């Protein structure tokens, strides 16, 4: 990092991550900070070879008899709400605007789609706005929700503010909202419930300004107790009873189980052991540390593979991961791939899920892995202990690669991203343990899946969000019995 002050790194990192999240190119002045680590269009244009597509299997087989990808059972959004007595409000009587900067393939995006699909089952009318200034494509889930019939808009700041004035929703469910939208909501006197998907936030929380910003938010929902503690520690002036923990849920209607034998055959797997990691290619997910740990495990196990699949968010970082991979004797067994549109197939084919993140709020990927029956290894991040526990019955929580999980930041993660990490020995040990107990985990796979699907109930989660949204509305805004909705 010669030539960079810590302040330079912090500012550059925050700007980079903000640009990634919102699909913006950085200004030229930011892209040219330093001679070795700048981000420019020439580097981005050469990113196509960093991660592979899905045109070939993990293990080569005879192309003349290559199997097709297994069929994913068709499913539609459903709810266990079956009669009017289960509705919290009369159908369509409360208009909820869900705001997010992006609707593509990340965990935050998936949860926004989850709420958009589920809130109508409790009587809400839903509109989703991608509040953004970029003209870049809005993403996969945007078009998916539109196709399903959800009202979804992509709006510039001016258009979003104009829409709010003309339509004035009853309440806003905000997910990584821009400041101008919070101000527009205050001007329109619309209450805001912001979901904290993780601390630090996607652009790193500015605690010096958070107290003022939080005055525009009616209440917060934290996706895990760790996130709640982190937020209140950073913004102690905010009322602690207005930060409510609601763990995320497993959206089984969009992750149906598929045939494991067919999934493995399609990937070319026979008796190989497959570690799977689903997450964006970015510093936060710490693929560099995972690849290093896997290389140690692979030394004595020639039939194990590691598959890391996700959206390519950070070209510079991913190039370093690829370079590391290519120097290793086991390089042919470490697979870097793009996002896969049907992750149920990958979950069915895998033997173990592993995620070595520096921080998470509540990982949807690890929750989906558990719900597919996979033993799961996760670093100590938000939601990890709630999801997996500490008794070894679902997998292992290993120490955080950056140290204290409550104090890790984008800046500290950036400093640690290529350094020897504190949890390597524990991560290697956990991976070896799952491999050694392969038959046991295979035998309890269905039981683990059933248990996890029950624990991550989507109706409970979406109902609690609906209740918090109703509580944020003035009692005069909801008539009759709906003014006294249940407390979360």
Q: What are the distances in angstroms from CA 253 to CA 74, 75, 136, 355?
A: 9, 6, 29, 24
**Do 287 and 383 belong to one domain?**
yes
299 plus 193 within the same structural domain: no
Contact 140, 111 (CB under 8 A): no
Same domain for 99 and 242, yes or no, is yes
User: Residues 210-232: pLDDT tens digits?
Assistant: 999 999 999 999 999 989 999 99
Q: Is the dihedral of CA 442, 285, 380, 257 positive or negative?
A: negative
Tell me the pLDDT tens digit for each residue of 152-196. Answer: 998 888 999 999 989 999 999 999 999 999 999 999 999 999 999
Q: Per-residue pLDDT for 32 more than 70? A: no
DSSP 3-state percent helix, strand, coil across the chain (nearest 5): 45, 15, 40
Quote the percentage of the chain above a pLDDT of 90.
58
- Residue 241 lies inside a defined structural domain of this protein: yes
Among 158, 418, 191, which residue's Cα sits nearest to residue 283? 418
- Residue 329 pLDDT > 90, yes or no? yes
pLDDT for 429-475, tens place per residue? 999 999 999 999 999 999 999 999 889 888 899 999 999 999 999 65
Q: pLDDT by residue (tens digit) across 477-486?
A: 444 444 444 3
For residue 95, the enclosing domain spans 89-252+457-484
- According to the model, what pLDDT value does residue 63 have? 63
CATH of the domain at 116: 3.40.50.2000
Q: Which residues contact 460 (CB under 8 A, 6 or more apart)?
A: 249
Of 330, 317, 331, the closest CA to residue 287 belongs to: 317
- In the chain, how many domains are there? 2
| Helices and strands per DSSP (H, E), number in the chain | 20, 13
Q: Does residue 80 belong to any structural domain of this protein?
A: no
pLDDT (average), residues 388-412: 91
CB-based contact 179:155 (threshold 8 Å) = no
If asked whether residues 230 and 267 sit together in one domain, one would say no
**Cβ contacts of residue 450 below 8 Å, gap of 6+?**
none
Does residue 93 carry a pLDDT above 60?
A: yes
The verdict on residue 368 lying in a domain is: yes
The three-class DSSP label of residue 69 is coil
Mean pLDDT of the chain: 83
Tell me, yes or no, whether 283 and 176 share the same domain.
no
Q: How much is the pLDDT for 65?
A: 67
> Are both 295 and 364 inside the same structural domain?
yes
285 and 353: one domain? yes
Please check whether residues 331 and 357 belong to one and the same domain. yes
Q: What does the alpha-carbon distance between residue 371 and residue 358 come to, in Å, rounded to a whole number?
A: 23
Residues 332 and 412 in one domain: yes
pLDDT at 70: 84
pTM recorded for the entire structure: 0.76
Token pair of 4 as six digits: 């960079």
368 and 461 both lie in a single domain = no
Residues 211 and 93 in one domain: yes
> What would you report as the CA-atom Rg of the chain, rounded to the nearest whole angstrom?
22
Q: Is residue 22 part of a domain?
A: no
Residue 221 lies in a domain: yes
More confident residue, 357 or 1: 357
* Statement to judge: residues 224 and 132 lie in one domain: yes
């Amino acid at each position: 990092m010669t030539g960079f002050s810590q302040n330079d790194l912090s500012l550059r990192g925050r700007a980079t991550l903000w640009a990634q999240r919102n699909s913006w190119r950085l200004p030229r002045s930011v892209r040219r900070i330093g001679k070795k680590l700048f981000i420019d269009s020439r580097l981005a244009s050469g990113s196509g070879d960093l991660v592979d597509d899905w045109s070939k299997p993990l293990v080569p087989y005879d192309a003349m008899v290559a199997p097709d990808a297994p069929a994913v059972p068709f499913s539609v959004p459903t709810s266990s709400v079956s009669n009017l007595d289960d509705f919290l409000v009369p159908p369509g009587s409360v208009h909820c605007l869900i705001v997010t900067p992006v609707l593509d393939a990340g965990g935050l995006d998936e949860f926004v789609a989850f709420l958009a699909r589920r809130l109508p089952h409790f009587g809400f009318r839903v509109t989703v706005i991608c509040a953004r200034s970029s003209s870049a494509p809005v993403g996969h889930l945007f078009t998916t929700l539109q196709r399903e019939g959800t009202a979804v808009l992509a709006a510039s700041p001016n258009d979003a503010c104009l829409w709010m004035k003309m339509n004035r929703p009853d309440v806003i469910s905000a997910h990584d909202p821009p400041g101008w939208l919070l101000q527009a909501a205050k001007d329109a006197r619309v209450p805001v419930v912001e979901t904290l998907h993780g601390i630090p936030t996607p652009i790193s929380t500015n605690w010096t300004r958070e107290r003022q910003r939080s005055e525009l938010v009616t209440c917060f929902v934290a996706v895990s107790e760790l996130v709640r503690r982190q937020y209140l520690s950073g913004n102690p002036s905010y009322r602690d009873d207005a930060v409510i923990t609601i763990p995320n849920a497993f959206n089984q209607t969009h992750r149906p189980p598929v045939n494991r034998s067919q999934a493995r055959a399609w990937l070319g797997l026979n008796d190989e052991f497959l570690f799977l990691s689903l997450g964006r290619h970015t510093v936060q997910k710490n693929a560099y540390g995972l690849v290093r740990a896997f290389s140690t495990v692979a030394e004595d196990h020639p039939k194990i593979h590691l598959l890391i699949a996700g959206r390519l968010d950070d070209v510079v970082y991913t190039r370093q991961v690829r370079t590391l991979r290519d120097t290793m004797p086991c390089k042919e067994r470490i697979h870097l791939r793009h996002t896969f549109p049907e992750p149920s197939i990958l979950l069915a084919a895998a033997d173990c899920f592993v995620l070595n993140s520096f921080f998470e709020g509540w990982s949807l990927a690890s929750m989906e892995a558990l719900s597919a029956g996979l033993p799961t290894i996760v670093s100590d991040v938000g939601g990890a202990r709630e999801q997996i526990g500490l008794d070894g019955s679902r997998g292992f929580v290993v120490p955080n690669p950056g140290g204290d999980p409550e104090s890790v930041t984008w800046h500290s993660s950036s400093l640690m991203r290529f350094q020897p990490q504190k949890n390597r020995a524990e991560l290697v040990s956990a991976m070896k343990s799952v491999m050694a107990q392969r038959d046991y985990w295979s035998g309890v796979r269905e039981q683990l899946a059933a248990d996890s699907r029950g624990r991550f109930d989507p109706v409970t989660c979406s109902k609690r969000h609906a209740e918090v949204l109703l509580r944020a509305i003035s009692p005069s805004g909801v008539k009759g019995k709906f003014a006294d909705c249940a407390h979360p």
